[in-house]
Structure 1
Amino acid sequence: MRFKLTVVLVAVATLAGCANPVNKDWFVTQGSKSDATIMLAYDEGLFQQAIVDEQDAFTIAKQGCKAWGFKNAQSLGIPLEQCARRDKLFGCVSTRYTQIYQCTH
């Protein structure tokens, strides 16, 4: 049993180096007019290398802020990384990256 697990882990590690570039779109996960924040995210699978357009994220956030009466949006730091889906054998098989935007006047 240990041998099979070792073989599987070696295969996964080898394939991880062959990550597939995939275009991903940002989507709104949360927003708070009272806090003037909008959270956007994208998901990346185990063997994927996400390609995202940061300008698209800014545009989506800015539009949301304008709908609430603000003039602009500003990203707060780098995207937060969290495992979105786990597998018993492979561990984290999907990671969600979340970017927080602050609405500004």
Structure 2
Amino acid sequence: MKSVIVAIALPLIAGCATPKYWGATGGNPSDGLVQLSYVHTPFEYGQIRASQGLAIATGRCQFWNYARAERAGAQKSVCRTMGQFHCLETTVT
């Protein structure tokens, strides 16, 4: 019986894991800052790779004649779309 429940639940759980990709959403060449963000909904379990974000930031920094990029600051989440009872879409920066 347990194996039947696991067999049914596994595809449902796996279907909720959604790969998320960083995108450059802002920056300031004079300060050498690149802002990266991604968007998720409450029913998604976003799988985000820090290495992908670092690669984007490094490319932008090298375009601005900086040698490399490194993570700075804290992660911030902001509700983009508010539903009647909860946030429907969140931007993570």
Same fold (TM over 0.5): yes
What's the CA shift string for 1:22-43, capped at 9, x where partnerless? 0011111001101210000111
Q: Which moved more, 1:61-70 or 1:73-82?
A: 73-82
Alpha-carbon offset, residue 77 of structure 1: 3.4
Note if 1:49 corresponds to 2:42.
no
Note if 1:34 corresponds to 2:51.
no
Partner residue in 2 for 1:66: 62
Indicate which of 9, 20, 23 corresponds to 2:16: 20
Matched residues, percent identical? 25
Alpha-carbon offset, residue 90 of structure 1: 2.9
Note if 1:91 corresponds to 2:86.
yes
Q: Which runs of no fewer than 5 residues in structure 1 stay unpaired?
A: 1-17, 99-105
Superposition TM-score, scaled by structure 1 size: 0.70
Aligned length: 80
More strand, by proportion: 1
Partner residue in 2 for 1:76: 72
| Deviating 4+ runs (over 3 angstroms) | none
Q: Which runs of no fewer than 5 residues in structure 2 stay unpaired?
A: 1-12
The RMSD of aligned alpha carbons is 1.6
Paired AA for residue 80 in structure 1: K
